[in-house]
Amino acid sequence: MLSTHEAQELETLTSELHFQILREHGNRPDAAQQLALRAVHNQLAGMVTEGSPMQGRWCLSAPIGFGKSSAVAAFLSAARQLGFLGKLTVTIAAARVEQLYDFEEAILNAGIPKSEIRQYVSVLHKDKNAKRNSDEDREAPVLLITHEKMRRVYARPERNVIDRKPVYFLKRDLVVWDERCLVTSPISLPLKDLKQAHGALKADHKPHHKPLIDWLDQVLPLLVKTAAVMSTKYSKGSLPKSVGVAPELPAGNITHFLANIYGAGVAQKTLQDFLSMMQFRLRLIPIKGHEAMVSYFVVVPDHITNVLVLDASFKVSELSTRDASIKSLEDHHPMLCELKRTYGKTLRDVIEYSTLRFTHWNVPTGKDSVVKALTEYTNGTAKGGNSVQELVEIVKARQAAGKAVLIWAHKASMGCNNIPQALEAALQKGGVDTMKMINNPNSRGGKESVPQVRVENYGQHDATNKYSYCNVVILFGVQRRQLGDISAAILGVDRELGAKLKYAEVYAARVGESAVVSQQAIGRGVSRVTLNGIAGEQETILFYEDTADFNLTERLVDIYPGAKWDEYQPRFAKESKGLVSRWAPIVLKHANESGRERISSRDLKAGVDANVCGHSWSDILDEVCRLSAVGHKEYSLVSDLPYRASPWIREGRSLVRATAERYGFKDETVAAA
């Protein structure tokens, strides 16, 4: 820890270095943002001052692109210049190893020479695929570790109330936690998943599974019956305190079951999860249609008492703000209170979002819906309303306009092991060049070669700058957590498995968690690059369905004040019963009046400005051919031309006149004339 005088020196130099870093990257904060950043510098220095009341568990909920990470990097560089690193020790925790190396790069950019970096900074991990082996120095002044490394050491059931002693990476003056810090981790298993796994196991008929099957034959009916009774009794409002804490389950040899679960196919993971849950106290959540067994375990030890959390989504999430052990810096720091008095701004308002344009299509894009749309598009049976078909057209147009596009999608489902890969194939099929490379204007010299179109899965959507050149961001579906999982998370934050559970809070928290993921995914694009407090100009296109109990758009509008919002107008009309009968006469009339013997499908479509998809268009052309060959009464409704005109037939991708000459006959009408 530092003396008061040393901390003041550190704060002053941190501000100088940080503003210099921002200027070098083309970012010139306005007066309001400068004040907010100085508050961060002051807080960092205060937290490492001996006996300071500024120590504690704090969260800085500044928006993406504010400069949180670069402030910490400047703080460490200033400490090194003043000779304080060594006297001062810091652990920085991030979600992924890749982020740790990004942070190391930020420290280098802040002024610590590359030749000295190993003297001050050590990156510790166990990832064999990382770009560099783990460092060995556990005594370095600055340790970079993953959240998971901490969780592996400290994860424990709540009933084990004895905290483990601090290990080397927590015996530090300050812990900086990048992104969300939830001190507990939920465990949940929907009963419908357990029933499906049980059925699959019984159908498989493997002899070594019989003891487990027999045990589940007793357990499952008990859980289902209990859930049904509770669901009827507590169908509205809330689940009272202690109700549903796991009923006594029939005895079983859990260790033996786990050892012999091999060969269970698709049911194996679900059954392993259920058996592993037996080490915890469990609670049955009876929300109708979402019945689940839940519990939680503690992953962040209580003895981490001096920690600064850098989380842009802190105030978006009901789960984060519910944790009384972490206080919002914005609500307590004098300089951030002054921000509101002087400039009428909160931290959220420090970044201006008038440069952001959102377009939302209210369409189902859950995992199953996406896989269905992908299958139809790949098979050539996509009709109007197909989300993949619309996505292809959107990306094709943006690529032609020279835009860089980032697409976020679900990772996998039962029907598709790799959804991003399948989407890339669909984009290629539709004419998008997914291999095209462009220069990254945000790289040094602007010469780094990067893909123009990127498709990534959720899970990679936070704490990275590598997509910041993308000026179009598309959320193709959003993550929605199971209600059982949200219930477990709420009970975990409250640190009481048997606590009263209000259903309205569960539904609200689910929307909040989807908003957190959406905010992080949206913030990976060029909007995170700010200039004079204004976010980079970005188009964001959202594919998801708002419902009565899941209104995500309402949350996102609140996160981005001043942004422009529009409803998406699909390019291809959704097929209805009257679509073919409405368009076929129009197309036939246009073809007849063209005076041509052959007309391409493309020219026809453009000529009538038909916004219908390929499959529906094919049906329309078939109906055009039928109409042109039917009797005079029906034909006269669609054309003023005489009935003796030759009918249209399909030939390749065109319509052609079915004249006598096409079949080798002489046109006697012409000869007689």
Asked whether residue 155 carries a pLDDT value surpassing 70, the answer given is no
CA–CA gap between residue 345 and residue 342 (Å, rounded) = 8
Q: Which tens digit of pLDDT belongs to each residue from 219-277?
A: 999 999 999 999 888 877 889 998 888 767 888 899 999 998 888 887 898 999 999 88
What is the DSSP track for 343-376? Answer: H---GGGGSB-TTEEEEEEE---SHHHHHHHHHH
pLDDT at 190: 95
What's the burial of 335, exposed, middle or buried (CB within 10 Å: 0-12/13-18/19+)? middle
Asked whether residue 366 carries a pLDDT value surpassing 50, the answer given is yes
Sign of the four-CA dihedral 638, 639, 645, 648: negative
- The residue ranking higher by pLDDT, 640 or 105, is 105
Average confidence score pLDDT of the chain: 88
Nearest 5 degrees, angle CA 269-CA 274-CA 278? 140
In 3D space, the residue among 289, 206, 248, 295 whose CA is nearest the CA of residue 495 turns out to be: 295
Listed range (206-210, 446-450, 631-635) with the worst mean pLDDT: 631-635
Nearest 5 degrees, angle CA 637-CA 638-CA 644? 95
Report helix, strand or coil for 79: helix
Asked whether residue 639 carries a pLDDT value surpassing 70, the answer given is no
Asked whether residue 178 carries a pLDDT value surpassing 60, the answer given is yes
pTM for this model (two decimals): 0.82
CA–CA gap between residue 287 and residue 151 (Å, rounded) = 30
**Residue position matching structure tokens 């942004």:** 563
- The residue ranking higher by pLDDT, 26 or 307, is 307
pLDDT at 673: 47
CA–CA gap between residue 323 and residue 300 (Å, rounded) = 12
Sign of the four-CA dihedral 660, 662, 666, 672: positive
Under 8 Å between Cβ of 353 and 536: no
Q: Which tens digit of pLDDT belongs to each residue from 57-91?
A: 999 999 988 889 999 999 999 999 999 999 999 99
Query: What DSSP designation does 460 have?
Result: S
- The kind and range of the H/E element at 383 are none
What end-to-end distance do the CA atoms of the chain give, in Å? 109
pLDDT at 642: 43
pLDDT at 669: 54
pLDDT at 644: 47
In 3D space, the residue among 199, 301, 300, 213 whose CA is nearest the CA of residue 261 turns out to be: 213
Q: What average pLDDT does the segment 466-486 reach?
A: 95
In 3D space, the residue among 409, 436, 432, 435 whose CA is nearest the CA of residue 420 turns out to be: 409
Report helix, strand or coil for 385: coil
CA–CA gap between residue 165 and residue 171 (Å, rounded) = 10
Asked whether residue 507 carries a pLDDT value surpassing 70, the answer given is yes
Q: What average pLDDT does the segment 498-517 reach?
A: 95
Q: Are strands 654-657 and 598-600 parallel, antiparallel or unpaired?
A: antiparallel
Under 8 Å between Cβ of 409 and 420: yes
pLDDT at 134: 87
Phi–psi pair at 543, nearest 5 degrees: -110, 105
Q: Which tens digit of pLDDT belongs to each residue from 136-152?
A: 898 999 999 998 887 77
Helices (H), ranges, 155-301: 191-204, 210-233, 254-259, 268-276
Question: For residue 599, what are the β-bridge partners?
Answer: 655
Asked whether residue 637 carries a pLDDT value surpassing 80, the answer given is no
Output the six-digit token pair for 343: 């400039």
Q: What average pLDDT does the segment 484-506 reach?
A: 94
Question: Which residues neighbour 96 within 8 Å (Cβ) at sequence distance 6 or greater?
Answer: 146, 463
Under 8 Å between Cβ of 79 and 85: yes
CA–CA gap between residue 321 and residue 480 (Å, rounded) = 19
CA distances from 543 to 364, 399, 512, 570 (A): 8, 19, 17, 11
Report helix, strand or coil for 434: coil
Which strands form 327-328's sheet, in the order they lie side by side? 121-123, 142-146, 90-94, 174-178, 307-310, 57-60, 327-328
**Residue position matching structure tokens 């504690």:** 56
Q: What average pLDDT does the segment 22-49 reach?
A: 91
